[in-house]
Amino acid sequence: MGEAEFGLKKGIISTRPGWLGSVEVVEVKFDPGVTSFEDLARHAAKKRCAQPIFACNDKQMKTAKVFTSQVKPRGQKSIRWVKDNKYYMSQGSLKYLPLTKTQATRINAGLTQASYWLSPSQRRMLKTIKAHPRAGWPSAIGKPFLESWAAARKIANKLKS
């Protein structure tokens, strides 16, 4: 739930779901020039998707305590990251399209708006992927963008010849 709640929020760079013990967690990377930890904590409390809030430092601990009594230090406990962290995207053609981390976060959170986040080149590539679903496209989820783009272009170029 947290991944979708934060994925479309302005200033979010990427999200990554996982488990810390029996608690589902979402790591949120954000641009502090666009949004603040305070704004994120307020948003989490309003949407009821962050109980507890894990803070990385004393300042974040103090800020989070304004919004919830359930604040914990991030600590050294191991988070078990969800292997397929873009589940909704991985169910269709989008899993083959090379995307930046921010694009993948936005699209996964709001799949109905996927084309809004794509460049014209990516829209053309997605059209090719959909037209040739059995062309051997490798999944691009979680892969470096340039590497994935080169692999997709190679397949697309073969289809043209």
- Residue % of the chain over a pLDDT of 70: 88
Average pLDDT over residues 16-24: 78
Sign of CA dihedral 129, 134, 135, 136: positive
Question: What mean pLDDT comes out for the span 10-38?
Answer: 85
Mean per-residue pLDDT, 49-62: 79
Per-residue pLDDT, 152: 95
CATH 3.30.1060.10 fits 2-81, yes or no: yes
Q: How far is CA 31 from CA 10, 34, 35, 102, 116, in A?
A: 9, 5, 6, 11, 21
| Cα gap 147→21, rounded to integer Å | 34
Higher pLDDT, 69 or 13: 13
Average pLDDT over all residues of the chain? 82
CA distance 57 to 75: 10
In this prediction, residues 68-83 reach a mean pLDDT of 71
What are the extents of the domains in the chain?
2-81, 89-160
pLDDT of residue 147: 92
pLDDT above 80 for 48: no
- Express each pLDDT in 109-158 by its tens digit: 765 567 777 888 998 999 999 999 999 999 898 888 999 999 999 999 99
Closest CA to 67 of 104, 41, 96, 93: 41
Give the pLDDT of residue 112.
56
pLDDT of residue 151: 94
Cβ neighbour number for residue 143 with a 10 Å cutoff: 14
